[in-house]
């Protein structure tokens, strides 16, 4: 698994769901394992499979020409 993104739980949970809907294997892990599990703002790291990294990056970070 390769590091893809770090952000608050509420955003990373949505990102992982979105990536999985696009067929990309993704998971989250806490940046600080001692953080409160009920805190929606706790920092989480999103990891994607090495084989899916380039596709995930293209989907999430590159501009979409078809939206113009």
List helix spans (H) across 1-68: 9-21, 53-61
Would you say 50 and 4 are in contact if contact means Cβ atoms under 8 Å apart?
no
Per-residue pLDDT tens, the chain, 68 aa: give them.
999 999 999 999 999 999 999 999 999 999 999 989 889 899 999 999 999 999 999 998 886 666 54
Distance between CA 15 and CA 40 in Å, rounded? 14
- Distance (Å, whole) CA 33 – CA 45: 11
Contact assessment for residue 2 and residue 47, using Cβ atoms and an 8 Å cutoff:
yes
pTM: predicted TM-score of the whole model, two decimal places: 0.84
Task: Show me where the domains of the chain are located.
Answer: 1-32
Instruction: Specify the pLDDT at position 65.
Output: 61
């Amino acid at each position: 698994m390769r590091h893809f993104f770090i952000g608050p739980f509420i955003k990373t949970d949505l990102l992982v769901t979105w990536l999985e809907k696009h067929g990309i294997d993704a998971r989250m892990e806490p940046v600080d394992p001692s953080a409160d599990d009920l805190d929606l703002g706790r920092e989480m790291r999103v990891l994607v499979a090495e084989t899916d990294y380039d596709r995930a990056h293209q989907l999430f970070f590159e501009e979409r020409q078809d939206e113009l």
